[in-house]
Amino acid sequence: MAGIIIDAKVDRIQVPEHLRYFRLIEQQKEHCSEQGCQTPFFKFGLAQTPFPVPAPLQKALSLHSGKGSYSYPIGNEKIRNAVSLFYRRQFDMDVHPSRVVVGHGAKGLIFSLLTLLTGSVIIPSPGWLGYLPQLRILNVPYYRLYTNRTNNFKIRPQSLEAMLKGLVKTQHLLILNNPGNPTGELYSHEELQEIANICKKYHTFILADEVYSLLTYDPDSFISMGKVFPEGTFVIHSLSAAMGAGGYRLGSCIMPEDCNPEVIQDIAKIAATVYTSSATPILEAGIAVYESGEEMSHYLNAVRNIHRIFTTRLADICRENERIKVTVPKAGFYFMVDMNPLTAELQNAGIMHSNDLAPAMIAHPYHVATVTGEAMMAPYGDYFIRFAATDFDGEAALLEYLEKTPQNSREEEAFFRKFGSRMIEGIEMYKKWVGDICAGKYRMSPL
């Protein structure tokens, strides 16, 4: 019998960032073991908060674990009501439950929306890689909108308008990730309004990926695009980013205001076809979280502040090298390093393009594992690195924070040094790698 023939489009699908990251570590571990090296790795690539799943979510899942029947593809009435109230409480948004779609994680909902909508898609770059493979699977036309350091890697309204002017005069979809992955940046109300005005002008809807919104360090500074442009925005949210529940696969989408009910039924049809429904016990557990009050507020406040303490301080340590540029994170657990000022030194070291950065950093003796290049949709010639500040004992850190919350900067620094020591060591090793490149002491060799 002949071998299996694979569809050509599979070759156009990038390896997801987490798989690429794990493969890189395994390759280097194998290479090091051949030389008798057992030195551990500094892990800055895992895009998952290390905290335990909050108690209300665990309890509710246990209580409803016996429910094995199918649920409605876009969620039952109770969870859609709970999400509606959650948005009113958290983001001051008046969302009718009929606009709420609940599905199999944010990624599953994004796939359903990209299947639903016609027209081309505009994706900011650098950004989260997850959108691009879905577009290629679906054969949806897309355009990369490049951002740069002068605007903190946020969408410039002028660049967006210039792109839309040149496209066919039909419906388009702009992907807006806020707070940002990989930068940790946040859009102001004014910036969102400018983008919304341009989108209205050019018949462009917005897919607002806001999965890190609950991790905004100053919660009052986050504004949802769904509040600025309710009639033209699909707002995506999920449980995973803030609640250590990535494996639960439960997300929500707020459909545009005055959305035709037939559109809701169409997305239900797509969801039912692709994944049938979210797991019923997970839906029931989600209701408990969306409805929970004080206990969840304490949990989220602690998680948010621990991420702030770790992520901003690690970025500050990177910033001590004045020749590299570092974003100032305002949310989440990412920051991005721009090494373009060292392009000549990098190329002299054999690091010729963005995809070379990750294998160069993980090489012996540095062992710094992170996400670069294509894995973060970075342009081929731009030397960008995403650091995720997630390699710490989340359970121990959360317990101590709740029992003895740091009251000032000095106590926060002590907390950081105690629980973030491994990450601090990793950032110092990264700085050594940069120093060795600048001094001509490092030359890239294949794994």
| Ranges 83-97, 283-297, 329-343, 386-400: which has the least confidence | 283-297
Query: Predicted confidence band at 148 (pLDDT cuts at 50, 70, 90)?
Result: very high
Q: Helices marked H in 349-447 — which ranges?
A: 357-361, 394-403, 409-419, 421-438
Domain membership of residue 116 (yes or no) is yes
Same domain, 130 and 268: yes
The H or E element that residue 276 is part of is none
Q: Rounded to the nearest 5°, which phi and psi values hold at 258? A: 60, 25
- The verdict on 228 and 104 lying in the same domain is yes
- Which DSSP string do the residues of 89-117 spell out, in sequence order? HHH-----GGGEEEESHHHHHHHHHHHH-
Residue 214 sits in which domain range?
56-292
Q: Which amino acid is at 34?
A: E
Classify residue 6: in a domain, yes or no: no
Has residue 444 been placed in a domain?
Answer: no
Shared-domain flag, residues 321 and 254 = no
CA atoms within 13 A on the CB side of 23: 7
pTM, to two decimals: 0.94
Dump pLDDT digits (tens) for 428-444: 999 999 999 999 999 98
Q: 72 and 175: one domain?
A: yes
Residues 213 and 331 in one domain: no
Inter-CA distances, 68 with 24, 163, 252, 288, 396, Å: 38, 48, 21, 18, 34
Residues 226 and 280 in one domain: yes
Residue 9 included in any domain: no
Q: Are 84 and 214 members of one domain?
A: yes
Tell me if 430 is assigned to some domain.
yes
Angle at 373 between CA 367 and CA 377, to 5 degrees: 140
Query: Which of the pair, 304 or 275, is modelled with greater confidence?
Result: 304
Tell me which residue has tokens 């809807």. 205
Give yes or no: residues 151 and 125 share one domain.
yes
Output the pLDDT for position 446: 63
Which CATH number characterizes residue 411's domain?
3.90.1150.10
Average of per-residue pLDDT values in the chain: 92
Whether 4 maps to a domain, the answer reads no
Domains of the chain: total? 2
Is the domain of 30 the same as that of 67?
no
